[in-house]
Each structure stands twice: as C-alpha cells, then as structure tokens.
C-alpha cells in the first residue's frame, strides 16, 4: 500500500521537482593560449552547473570576476541534445550553437569542451 502511495505521489510531482543539479568544480583547465596553473584555476573558481530534468537539461559556466569581486555565471543554456553511452557510462550534454559539450561520468568526473578551444576537467557533486 505504501509503495502504491509513493508511486502515485511521484507521478503527481511536477517535472522540475525531479530535476537534479550537479555542481562541477574545475580542477584542470587548458585553452589555445595556455595551460592554467593550479593556482590560476583555484583563483578563477571555475565551475559548471548542470541541471537535468526528465527530458531536458541546462548548462551554466561560472567563474570569479575580479573586477566585481564575486562569482558570476552565464545565462542557463539549454542542452540541444543529451546522449548516454552505456559502454563508458557517461552522459554527454551538447549545445550546438557554441559547439560545446559537457561529459558527465558515472563517478561524477566531468569534461567541459567550451567549443572555443578550451577544455576543463574536474569533479561534480549533487547540489542540494
């Protein structure tokens, strides 16, 4: 009986209630001009946020803005396509316009290809 009640409640919840957000901290970062040192990466506080619902996801990139002395994030960008690779157990989130992709692995490691010659690596946690 309790099981049926739980299933019924889950079906009544809006899709946004079933969304999960991954807060991904960049640990290594490279672009066309340079490889960022550990200190530069730490100072830049680079991160990626993935919010995934049942059939959609949004991506945001964040970094420390020295002029404003705070972390700022770009506007949420909807993923144009989401693919799951069962062999490597990773999910790929594609944004076609900037030719960017974020790959999220089952152990919560991630790779962010920004589509402009930059790539970042790190680890995600499930955000509260």
Structural domain including 41 reads 22-126
Residue-wise pLDDT tens digits, 77-128: 999 999 999 999 999 999 998 889 999 999 999 999 988 889 999 999 999 8
Distances (CA, A) of 30 to 9, 15, 95: 46, 36, 20
Residue 110: inside a domain: yes
User: How far is Cα 111 from Cα 50, in angstroms, rounded to an integer?
Assistant: 12
Cβ contact 82:54 at 8 Å: no
pTM for the full predicted model: 0.81
Instruction: Report the distance separating Cα 53 and Cα 17, nearest Å.
Output: 8
In a domain, 80, yes or no: yes
* pLDDT, tens only, 27-71: 999 999 899 999 999 999 999 999 999 889 999 999 999 888 999
98 occurs within a structural domain: yes
pLDDT at 43: 94
Residue 13 lies in a domain: no
- Residue pair 32/128 in contact by the 8 Å Cβ criterion: no
Section 3-8 average pLDDT = 46
Residue 3 domain-assigned (yes or no): no
Please check whether residue 44 lies inside any domain of the structure: yes
- Residue 32 makes CB contacts below 8 A (sequence gap 6+) with 117, 118
Q: Tell me, what's the pLDDT at 8?
A: 40
Q: Is residue 6 part of a domain?
A: no
Segment holding 112, helix H or strand E: strand 109-113
Structural domains of the chain, count: 1
CA distance 69 to 98: 27
Classify residue 9: in a domain, yes or no.
no
Within its chain, how far is the Cα of 110 from the centroid?
8
């Amino acid at each position: 009986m309790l099981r049926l009640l739980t299933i019924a409640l889950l079906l009544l919840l809006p899709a946004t209630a079933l969304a999960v957000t991954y807060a991904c901290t960049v640990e290594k970062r490279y672009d066309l001009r340079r490889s960022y040192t550990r200190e530069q990466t730490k100072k830049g506080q680079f991160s990626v946020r993935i919010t995934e619902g049942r059939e959609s996801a949004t991506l945001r990139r964040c970094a420390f803005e020295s002029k404003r002395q705070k972390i700022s994030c770009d506007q949420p960008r909807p993923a144009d396509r989401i693919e799951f690779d069962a062999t490597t157990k990773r999910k790929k989130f594609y944004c076609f316009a900037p030719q960017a992709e974020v790959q999220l692995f089952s152990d919560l490691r991630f790779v962010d290809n920004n589509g402009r010659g930059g790539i970042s690596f790190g680890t995600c946690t499930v955000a509260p």
